[in-house]
Structure 1
């Protein structure tokens, strides 16, 4: 099951939600504005990143300057605790699949969440239409 982590005021979150609806991709949504992420959810997200915390922390967040200097000295668990208490520090949307992760909305990259057999059928249709 795909999990979509969003925030109410985030335009990219709205775009991701709409794209998933339009493409009939089943997902579960968790809104950080009303329900903070858990330690286990953050660990799962981090396990799929390439660069760890760098990939999920929003340096554009208004709160970021207040924690930027402390962040390098914080332990992993302290950082998880901070992110659970202050989810506005997280980039969004965060889309998590079985072994896939997307941070932010990108219309090309989000296609990875369409089931493989559906993508294959669409590709075959394109090939049939392009036959010489």
Structure 2
């Protein structure tokens, strides 16, 4: 099963979902703006992706500036906490399998989870 952190208003997210469904994948869709991941879940996803939280931050969102998230001294847990509290800061779509996670940019990247 692939878990897709999805925003139905985002064209890239819709495209990633369609690609997975067309490929016959079993997809659990999580509308992360309504049901944000916990800090532990987001930390796990980042670990699977081998990324720093900053790599998944949407820097053009208003909260990015108001929360001063460009402060390079902010630690990982504080960045994750900001993302959980303000899920619109999380870049999307994110597809997660048991042992791998990818950012669907471009959307075709989510198909790499099917090759495992």
User: Under TM normalisation by the shorter chain, which class is it?
Assistant: 0.7 to 0.9
Q: CA deviation at 1:3?
A: 0.9
Name the SS for the 1:29 alignment partner: strand
For residues 40-94 of structure 1, the C-alpha deviation after alignment (integer angstroms, 9 at most, x for no partner) is 2101111123331132111232332223456433333332221111000010001
TM-score by length of 2: 0.83
Structure 1 regions of 5+ residues with no counterpart? 117-132
> Which stretches of structure 1, 4 residues or more, deviate above 4 A after TM superposition?
none
Taking a change above 3 Å as real, the CA distance of residues 108 and 82 of structure 1, as seen in their structure-2 partners, is closer
Name the SS for the 1:73 alignment partner: coil
TM-score by length of 1: 0.74
Count the aligned residue pairs.
116
Structure 2 regions of 5+ residues with no counterpart? none
Counterpart of 1:121 in structure 2 is none
Which one scores higher on RCO, CA 8 angstroms, separation ≥ 6? 2
